[in-house]
Amino acid sequence: MMQTFDCDVAIVGAGPTGLTLANYLGQAGVSVILIERNATTVQAPRAVSIDDESLRTMQSVGLVERVLDNVALDYGYQYVSSANVVFAHIEPTAREYGWPRRNAFTQPELEAALREGLARFPNVRQVFESICEGVKEDDDGVTITVKGDGGAPQTIRARYLAATDGARSPIRKMIGAQLSGSTYRERWLIVDLKDTKERFRLTRVLCNPKRPTICLPGPDGRRRYEFMVHNHESDDEISTPEKVRELLAMFGPDADSPIVRRQVYTFHARMADKWNTRRIFLGGDAAHLTPPFAGQGMNSGIRDAHNLAWKLAAVVKGELGPRLLESYHPERSPHAWSLIEMAVNIGKVMMPTSAIQAFAVQAAFRLMRFIPPLHAYFAQMKYKPKPFYNAGFVLPDDGGLNVVGRMQPQPLVEFLDRSRVKLDELAGNGFALIAFGENAQATLGACAHHDFGLPNLRRIAVLPHDTNIDRTADASLTAVRAVEDFFEVRLPKGREVLIVVRPDRYAAAACDVTDASQIAAFAERVRELAASTGSPEAVSKVGAAA
């Protein structure tokens, strides 16, 4: 008999990672129960920086416009010496993924928007003020014991469980995963303000060994100051209202601005040695802890959510086999760790331990101004590790195109009638086959009778920005002209290329097409990749007697 489940996917933890995952699965028609120990989403400021990849994910779950209500787009950094001289200026301008690379936001508003978004989906049930007391996994699913406020324990039966329950994740311990890495001795005092009097829009980093300080702007008059705490200062001493006002007075005009939060914290660079069992998956802070200096902790969790969400959706809907889920850890963990390492290195610049170290680092940055490529490397944030999967649900051999395993750009594209949209709006949230080149329409037409083995594959011809759409081509084919040259700078000029783009906008496969015979071979390789995920599981009943 077919087994009955209360939901396809249970999610424990309603922070940004869990809420993003629930929205994606809800939109995909997957049955979800979201479990959260608190009465509401977070109310205090936490993360303050949201990047282009995360905004692209918000776009994919249909909430980007709502999220943007509380986002200040497009800002950079100034690094300032103890002599109050700017020695480095970082203000990236590229928008290859469709959004600015650095943006300020407030976490309570983001979480509220994501939770509101769940109301769109009758297949998503929210269970707040409930603690997960235990999980038991078997061959077919997971049984979760949940206790509400003052109530008797209840059980929830799910096919899969996503544990996005934070840095102290009980479920991480339940599956036997352990964190490895470092917890640093340096402490920082966070002070969050509203109604700031400081009007400078960029992040200012004061690299002064006597008191390293970071001043971060936020939307709607919010601002965060972060002060390094010296070894001889106690947490209680540094965080008194009088001391906080004294510090604020030293570094700007905000000594009298209303204080929303003041808190001392240490930072971690740690990662779980195991991210999943067969049916239980860790995400966000449950899987990795990132120092705050690069603003990537929450953003890494949202990457986890997008990667895991489309795979869970494909498996529970019977579109691809369960071995697809085995790609989650090998795809996500290397990139998450590379961002942790980047944050640690940025921290060394932000908090010099001596005047000599500060002078050496700052002199090196000044010299970079005379080496344009190196200066651009830092000014445009090219040092940020780009996501790249060389193992997982990918066919790494793409004939030297260097496309597979990388997030694909999202240019603005133009239809024949000159209307314009971002490419993801056209590609949708499923798989897409993109033909790129001057003859993209003919290349896509040659693909018409080939089966690529992927569910709901959208087929799109994208022409270079300097090439008009062929008006005589088959009008049934979706064809657009790229307004921006992001594909062109990545791909061989004058060549015709096919790219299979996954729902999370990474290239799963690509080939350089010189004749039609190559298309059949390419389609076969993609079918083999889909088949490598195994036989799809039976779609189980949810919420009804067997």
DSSP for 239-285, written as a single string: TSHHHHHHHHHHSSS-TTSPEEEEEEEEEEEEEES--B-SSEEE-GG
Whether residue 140 is found in the same domain as residue 29: yes
Domain hosting residue 503, numbered range: 412-531
Whether residue 116 is found in the same domain as residue 10: yes
233 within some domain: no
CATH code of residue 456: 3.40.30.20
Whether residue 335 is found in the same domain as residue 449: no
Q: Can you give the pLDDT at residue 348? A: 74
Q: Residue 184: in which H helix or E strand, if any?
A: strand 179-193
Q: Return the higher-pLDDT residue of 545 and 293.
A: 293
Least confident of 43-57, 340-354, 506-520: 340-354
| Residue 36 vs residues 109, 166, 188, 305: alpha-carbon distances, Å | 17, 11, 28, 16
Cβ neighbours for 416, distance < 8 A, ≥ 6 positions apart: 469, 471, 479
- Mean pLDDT over residues 111-120, rounded? 98
CB count within 10 Å of CB 538 equals 9
Whether residue 305 is found in the same domain as residue 167: yes
Cβ proximity of 179 and 272 under 8 Å: yes
Residue 2: band (very low, low, confident or very high) from pLDDT cuts 50, 70, 90: low
Query: Percent of the chain scored above 70 by pLDDT?
Result: 95
Least confident of 150-159, 350-359, 403-412: 350-359
Cβ neighbours for 152, distance < 8 A, ≥ 6 positions apart: none
314 within some domain: yes
Calpha distance 526→407 (Å, rounded): 18
Coil vs helix vs strand at 230: coil
What is the CA angle 45-46-49, rounded to 5? Answer: 105
Coil vs helix vs strand at 468: coil
- For 79, the token pair is 């690094």
391 within some domain: no
CATH code of residue 281: 3.50.50.60
pLDDT, tens digit, 9 for 90 and up, residues 50-85: 999 999 999 999 999 999 999 999 888 888 888 888
The string of DSSP letters for 406-439 reads BBPP--EEE-TTS-EEEHHHHHTTS-EEEEESTT
137 within some domain: yes
Whether residue 134 is found in the same domain as residue 36: yes
Q: Can you give the pLDDT at residue 544? A: 44
Q: What mean pLDDT, rounded, does the chain reach? A: 91
Whether residue 43 is found in the same domain as residue 137: yes
Q: Can you give the pLDDT at residue 545? A: 33
Residue 1: band (very low, low, confident or very high) from pLDDT cuts 50, 70, 90: very low
Query: Residue 228 carries which side chain, given as an amino acid letter?
Result: M
- Which residue, of 319, 348, 377, is where some domain finishes? 348
Whether residue 62 is found in the same domain as residue 171: yes
Residue 511: band (very low, low, confident or very high) from pLDDT cuts 50, 70, 90: very high
254 within some domain: no
Calpha distance 498→502 (Å, rounded): 13
Q: Can you give the pLDDT at residue 546? A: 31
pLDDT, tens digit, 9 for 90 and up, residues 468-478: 999 999 999 99
- Which residue, of 303, 331, 348, is where some domain finishes? 348
Q: Can you give the pLDDT at residue 324? A: 98
Whether residue 427 is found in the same domain as residue 511: yes
Calpha distance 181→165 (Å, rounded): 20
Calpha distance 233→270 (Å, rounded): 26
Coil vs helix vs strand at 32: strand
The pairing of strands 420-422 and 259-272 is: unpaired
pLDDT, tens digit, 9 for 90 and up, residues 213-226: 999 999 999 999 99
pLDDT, tens digit, 9 for 90 and up, residues 132-174: 999 999 999 999 999 987 778 999 999 999 999 999 999 999 9
Whether residue 344 is found in the same domain as residue 416: no
Whether residue 419 is found in the same domain as residue 514: yes
Please, what's the b/e burial string for 51-82 (b: 16 or more CB within 10 A of its CB; e: otherwise)? bbbbbbbbbbbebbebbbebbbebbbbbbbbb
Q: Can you give the pLDDT at residue 514? A: 85
Whether residue 423 is found in the same domain as residue 284: no
Question: What is the domain count for the chain?
Answer: 2
pLDDT at 293 over 70: yes
The pairing of strands 541-542 and 4-5 is: parallel
- For 102, the token pair is 């650095």
- Mean pLDDT over residues 229-249, rounded? 95
Phi, psi of 500 (to 5 degrees): -95, 115
241-245, 248-252, 295-299, 338-342, range with greatest mean pLDDT: 241-245
pLDDT at 35 over 50: yes
397 within some domain: no
289 within some domain: yes
28 within some domain: yes
Whether residue 283 is found in the same domain as residue 159: yes
- Which residue, of 302, 317, 348, is where some domain finishes? 348
Calpha distance 384→432 (Å, rounded): 27
